[in-house]
């Protein structure tokens, strides 16, 4: 459950989200995701796939950072089951 309204969500800058610094924000913008609302709508998996098309070296930690940003937490605090799910997804994408 998000504590912000849909309109607020659309207006939030990517860099205001946890885990999203300038470099990752720039990659997201290059991938066509320019706001927090667009990231929420796109989801971590699709956003990461778009980033991998731009940066083939994008790592597992970037995928976790995106998921954490969507959940509103530092990626280190993702649940072990979510990390395992993302690790599996990353291995599938990386093949």
Q: Tokens standing for 95?
A: 């093949």
- CATH number for the domain whose boundaries are 7-93: 1.10.150.20
Mean pLDDT of 71-87: 97
Q: What is the 3-state secondary structure (H, E, C) of 18-69?
A: CCCCHHHHHHHHHCCCCCHHHHHHHCHHHHHHHHHHHCCCCCHHHHHHHHHH
**pLDDT in the model for residue 6:** 52
**Cα separation, 64 vs 11, whole angstroms:** 23
Give the tens place of pLDDT for each residue, 4-59: 455 454 557 899 999 999 999 999 999 999 999 999 999 999 999 999 999 999 99
Give the dihedral sign, CA 8/38/20/82.
Answer: positive
């Amino acid at each position: 459950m998000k504590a912000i309204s849909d309109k607020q969500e659309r207006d939030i800058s990517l860099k205001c989200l946890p885990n999203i610094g300038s470099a990752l924000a720039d990659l997201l913008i290059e991938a066509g995701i320019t706001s927090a609302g667009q990231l929420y709508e796109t989801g971590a998996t699709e956003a990461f796939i778009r980033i991998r098309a731009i940066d083939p070296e994008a790592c597992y930690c970037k995928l976790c950072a995106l998921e954490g940003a969507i959940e509103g937490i530092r990626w280190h605090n993702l649940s072990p089951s979510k990390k395992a799910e993302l690790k599996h997804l990353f291995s599938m994408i990386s093949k």
